[in-house]
Amino acid sequence: MPRANAGLCDRPVDLLINNAAQGAPHAALGAIEADGVLNALDVNVAGPLRLVQFLLPNLLRATDPIIVKVTSRLASLAAQANGDFAELSTSYAYKISKAGQDMLTVSLAQDLQGRVRCWAVHPGKLATGMGQTDASKDPRAAASQLRELVDSNDRASPRFCSLGEPDLHW
């Protein structure tokens, strides 16, 4: 494997945004393919972990680094347990892997406490190809809100926030 920071040399990385998103088609319980769940876990959890490991020396060289994981409100165990999204046809692969990504955020925040802020950010109901039928938020608006959040002096870590809305419950 190449040196962890070979392409960046000793340059600091101030901001790492993990915007991985992989799901699988929604299916009835008996028809869910485990390979789809494993693929989503690899993309949404193991991929961001590998990237953090790769860039860690550069993140630690920065003055005030931030790791952002673009997640989903659907990853909230509290909201799912309440049945808040029961009417949505979201795949097990997506919900499970995004919840895993949020646990990665919490774990990284604990390991990197005081050195790197770690946030799980739900961008809102984005009107994209992966969005739910009720999605109406322009991705450009979400990008602007994310920029404002990153530029803020918010010191919380870990944080599970929803852009333009109150923070979410894990």
Position 27 scores a pLDDT of 83
| 3-state SS assignment for residue 13 | coil
How far apart CA 96 and CA 113 sit, in angstroms, is 25
Instruction: Report whether pLDDT(140) > 80.
Output: yes
For the stretch 100-136, pLDDT in tens is 999 999 999 999 999 999 999 999 888 666 656 666 7
Position 29 scores a pLDDT of 86
Position 88 scores a pLDDT of 87
For the stretch 145-154, pLDDT in tens is 999 999 998 9
122: β partners: 162
Instruction: Report whether pLDDT(5) > 60.
Output: no
How far apart CA 90 and CA 75 sit, in angstroms, is 11
pTM of the model: 0.89
Position 84 scores a pLDDT of 95
- What residue type is 40 in one-letter code? A
Position 1 scores a pLDDT of 45
Position 160 scores a pLDDT of 98
| 3-state SS assignment for residue 147 | helix
Q: Is the distance from CB of 127 to CB of 138 less than 8 angstroms?
A: yes
For the stretch 9-68, pLDDT in tens is 889 999 999 997 877 778 888 888 899 999 999 999 999 999 999 999 999 999 999 999
